[in-house]
Amino acid sequence: MVALGEIVRWCLYTSKGWYGRAARWLLRRDRLLIGSERRFRALIEAAPDAMVIVDWHGVITLVNAQTEALFGYRRDELVGQPVTELIPERYRRSHRERQRAYLKAPQVRNMRAALELYGLRKDGSEFPVEISLSPLVTQLEGFVVSSTIRDVTERKRIEAELIERAQALQRSNADLEQFASVASHDLKAPLRVVGGCVELLRRRYEGRLDDDADELIDLTMGGVERMQALIDDLLAYAHITRESPQAMVPVDSRAVVRDVLATLSDQIAESGTAIVVDGLPVVHSIPTQLTQLFQNLIGNAIKFSADASPEVRVSAERDGECWRIAVQDNGIGIEAEHRERIFDMFQRLHTADEFPGTGIGLAICKRIVEQHGGEIHATAAPGGGTVMSFTLPAAEASCGIPPPRRADTSPAPRARHDAPDALRRGP
């Protein structure tokens, strides 16, 4: 039997007057609304995360299959229930307060950063969640809030594991630093005794014994000095991580290089090396480490420069948010297969008799640069020699410091305390 309402609707729909037009318009609108509602529900159902739709009063009106899987409820158990059923009891009061505040100014909101949130499953277990809110206005239900809920248990576990590893690494570094300090002190004390005794033998008996005895004394003293240098370098390597990245400040690298050249003045004069320093920038760095970095690289460049007309050039160029600084020499160069391993500990390409050193200097440089978030590489210089280039964070962008000046090509005075941007020194 056909319902009376259907008969009335059919009569109105087939009417040719005003009532018929209105009925046909209402029917088309209903069909559009029903189609829109179906598409909306299909989108909610296809979402990869749990989706919960609540009305103005916080009552659940729609959930998807992901919500059923995440919370363990059937959807007919959730629809019509307050959304607080999915929240642990201890958080429900604060949730209601946040809900009232949100409804006063509804907007898209990602709540992950501000709140530590947990969901409550049907079995009573809790789990950490990340929730995003989006206000919506629908034709059938009016104002609703769409909640996207994501289980972040695995991410929390990984974060906790990373924090634990970082803390363990920090403790390990602290232990290593303490060990290095104690070991260096305990090693230096007997080494000073040995060195003092050998020096005393040299003073008292040099020339009074045979040539073999004098040579043995010299060899012993040289070994003591190399051991002292090795201990100092190991201690410097271990202490690099002592200073926190928070200790970084804007540093004028021109002034640092000027001080380093003053320290190396005897080595520069003895080798007859010409030093050219182009315009250098202000960088974001730890001052003591930047000094150590330049001293190691410039010292190496002088040591390995050419025998005839040795020259070392220090320059810089902008590389995105960083400065790329280069220390170039015209010396013996480094074979391509060795340009990576020279930055490892105790990696030497020459014997101590050919070129003095401990094999730790470039490892210290690499550790300093990496602590500043940069990178360091060795490449071949045009015409022979080596370019040691490294990156450091720029400082002028955040500190209002102007870019570096162009190199000054005027003749440089020979006074150690007055070193301009372009400095040439020789014997």
DSSP helix/strand/coil, 331: coil
Quote the percentage of the chain above a pLDDT of 90: 14
Residue 356: pLDDT over 80: no
Among the residue ranges 79-93, 242-256, 305-319, 387-401, the one predicted with the least confidence is: 387-401
Q: Output b/e per residue, 219-248; b: 16+ Cβ within 10 A.
A: ebbeebeebbebbebbbbbbbbbeeeeeeb
Q: Calculate the alpha carbon distances from 328 to 110, 254, 268, 277 in Å.
A: 51, 16, 15, 10
- The DSSP 8-state label assigned to residue 259 in this structure reads H
Count Cβ atoms within 10 A of the Cβ of residue 47 and give its class: 0-12 exposed, 13-18 middle, 19 or more buried: middle
- The DSSP 8-state label assigned to residue 407 in this structure reads P
When the pLDDT of each residue in the chain is averaged and rounded to a whole number, the result is 76
Residue 82: pLDDT over 80: yes
Residue with tokens 């160029």: 317
Residue 258: pLDDT over 60: yes
Beta carbons within 8 Å of 282's beta carbon, 6+ residues apart: 250, 251, 252, 253, 394, 395, 396, 399, 401, 404
pLDDT band of residue 178 (cuts 50, 70, 90) is confident
Among the residue ranges 193-197, 235-239, 273-277, the one predicted with the least confidence is: 235-239
CB of 263 closer than 8 Å to CB of 295: yes
Residue 2: pLDDT over 80: no
- The DSSP 8-state label assigned to residue 403 in this structure reads P
How far is 248 from 398, CA to CA, in rounded Å? 13
Q: What is the pLDDT of residue 144?
A: 85
| Mean predicted confidence (pLDDT) in 183-204 | 76
Among the residue ranges 32-36, 53-57, 254-258, the one predicted with the least confidence is: 32-36
- The DSSP 8-state label assigned to residue 406 in this structure reads P
How far is 369 from 392, CA to CA, in rounded Å? 7
398: tokens are: 């955040």
- Closest residue by Cα to residue 88 from 127, 141, 48, 145: 127
| Mean predicted confidence (pLDDT) in 282-302 | 88
Q: What is the pLDDT of residue 36?
A: 61
Q: What is the pLDDT of residue 88?
A: 92
H and E: helices and strands count for the chain: 12, 13
How far is 325 from 281, CA to CA, in rounded Å? 9
pLDDT band of residue 408 (cuts 50, 70, 90) is very low
| Neighbouring C-beta atoms of residue 413, cutoff 10 Å | 11
Q: What is the pLDDT of residue 70?
A: 92
* Polymer length in residues for the chain: 427
Q: Calculate the alpha carbon distances from 307 to 270, 300, 332 in Å.
A: 12, 14, 9
pTM (whole model) above 0.75? no
- The DSSP 8-state label assigned to residue 82 in this structure reads B
Residue 291: pLDDT over 60: yes
Q: What is the pLDDT of residue 416?
A: 33
108: tokens are: 């898209």
pLDDT band of residue 314 (cuts 50, 70, 90) is very high
Residue 279: pLDDT over 80: yes
CB of 412 closer than 8 Å to CB of 261: no
pLDDT band of residue 397 (cuts 50, 70, 90) is very low
DSSP 136-197: EEETTTEEEEEEEEEE-HHHHHHHHHHHHHHHHHHHHHHHHHHHHHHHHHHHHHHHHHHHHH
How far is 359 from 236, CA to CA, in rounded Å? 13
How far is 220 from 199, CA to CA, in rounded Å? 10
CA distance between the termini of the chain: 118
CB of 9 closer than 8 Å to CB of 22: no
Outline where 304-408 has alpha helix (H): 361-371, 396-399
Among the residue ranges 86-90, 106-110, 162-166, 258-262, the one predicted with the least confidence is: 106-110
Which tens digit of pLDDT belongs to each residue from 198-215?
A: 888 888 877 777 777 877
| Neighbouring C-beta atoms of residue 275, cutoff 10 Å | 25
How far is 246 from 244, CA to CA, in rounded Å? 5
Residue 390: pLDDT over 90: yes
- The DSSP 8-state label assigned to residue 417 in this structure reads T
Residue 139: pLDDT over 70: no
The torsion angles phi and psi of 204, rounded to 5 degrees, stand at -80, -35
